[in-house]
Amino acid sequence: MLVNCVAYHRGERVADIPISEIRSQLTDPGCFVWVALKDPVPEEVERLQEEFTLHELAVEDASRGHQRPKIEEYGSSIFVVLHMIDAEGEELLTGEVAIFVGPQYIVSVRRNSQQGFTEVRRRCEEEPDLLKHGPAYVLYALMDTVVDRYFPLIDRLTSEIEDIEERIFTSNTTRAQVEALYTFKQRLMVLDHAINPLLEVTSKLHGGRVPPMCAGLQDYFRDVYDHLQRLKQSTDNLRDMVSTALSVNLSLITLQENEVTKRLAAYAALVAVPTMIAGVYGMNFRHMPELDWAYGYPVTVAAMVTIDLYLVFRFRKAKWL
């Protein structure tokens, strides 16, 4: 689906145009066209390939989707893929946006994501002095927006791991807590797969040899790179917290098992003493002491109770009961 197709001249919006008028707009060197597509059919992408002479390998990647974040140069144009992450309930769903950037055009192809770039277009149009830089500045604005949208997800995951840690220490360790930690780790990996490759992509736009069309905008792309570094540090911290929480959780499970073992051993000892005494007097030998004594039975029971009470006292003092 075609979302927008707008022509700009020296940073100022000219008009919304149909795809058939793109070539007539590009006759002016000071003009560029910004096209946005959402979940397009192959015919729409092929039409734009003809209008802008897009490289067939880049078009193939944009049409298939499921690409890792990357940047590729094709002559005077570049092709960028970014991951877009939507939070749906407790799940993180991964979409992507493929961006074709040339001297006089920028085409964004968004797939499997509900997050649009209407606000990005409005912000760019309110800054005509910056929009004069052309498609390269729009690329920066798109990348900056995608990266900034990762921060609320990091905050959400941070709050979630803190809640899990609190439950670990305030309640008995359960299978649900272990499953929650592993589910959390899977969501963290979704973010990690979006951020880490993007660091390499952004580094190619501000350091060393940069594409000619991005020259003069290195400071802007460096700002995006700094944001990504912060995000990477946050994901690394969260990964360490998950590992620590798993270790603590397993340690608590071991402690709980030890407590149960001590309690069972204590109860077994309480039963063992009367069983031993009763076993001695149940051997039925003809000559045994106290068999004919009138107070033999109550004295034996009293001895059993006394010994068990003493054991209970010692076990409680040792915190086994």
Token readout for 298 is: 């109550």
The CATH number of domain 1-147, selected from 3.30.2040.10, 3.40.50.300, 3.40.50.12780, 3.30.460.20: 3.30.460.20
DSSP 68: P
pTM for this structure? 0.78
Residue 227, pLDDT above cutoff 80: yes
The Cα–Cα gap between 282 and 168 comes to 50
Q: Which residues of 134-155 are buried (b: 16+ CB within 10 A; e: fewer)?
A: bbbbbbbbbbbbbbeebeebbe
Answer for the pair 20, 143: CB distance below 8 angstroms, yes or no: no
Residue 182, pLDDT above cutoff 80: yes
Averaged pLDDT for residues 174-197: 85
Among candidates 98, 86, 117, which has minimal Cα distance to 191? 86
Question: pLDDT grade, residue 280 (50/70/90)?
Answer: confident
Q: What pLDDT, in 10s, does the model give residues 88-99? A: 877 888 999 999
Residue 172, pLDDT above cutoff 70: no
Averaged pLDDT for residues 126-148: 91
Long-range contacts (CB closer than 8 Å, 24 or more residues apart) made by 209-214: 211/73, 211/78, 211/136, 212/76, 213/76, 213/78, 213/101, 213/102, 213/103, 213/134, 213/135, 213/136, 214/78, 214/136, 214/139
Q: What percent of the chain has pLDDT over 90?
A: 21
Residue 285, pLDDT above cutoff 70: no
Q: What pLDDT, in 10s, does the model give residues 62-73? A: 888 788 899 998
| Predicted pLDDT of residue 148 | 93
Backbone φ and ψ for 149, nearest 5 degrees, come out as -70, -10
Averaged pLDDT for residues 194-208: 85
| 257-317 has CATH 1.10.3810.10 classification | no
The structural domains of the chain, with segments of one domain joined by +, span 1-147, 257-317
Question: pLDDT grade, residue 319 (50/70/90)?
Answer: confident
Averaged pLDDT for residues 228-242: 91
Contacts of residue 312, Cβ cutoff 8 Å, sequence gap at least 6: 270, 321
Among candidates 93, 132, 183, which has minimal Cα distance to 10? 132
DSSP 315: H
| Predicted pLDDT of residue 27 | 84
Residue 314, pLDDT above cutoff 90: no
Say how many C-beta atoms besides its own lie within 10 A of residue 184's C-beta: 19
Q: Rounded mean pLDDT of the chain?
A: 85
Say how many C-beta atoms besides its own lie within 10 A of residue 193's C-beta: 15
Q: What pLDDT, in 10s, does the model give residues 29-59? A: 889 999 999 988 888 888 888 888 889 999 8
Among candidates 168, 160, 150, 167, which has minimal Cα distance to 185? 160
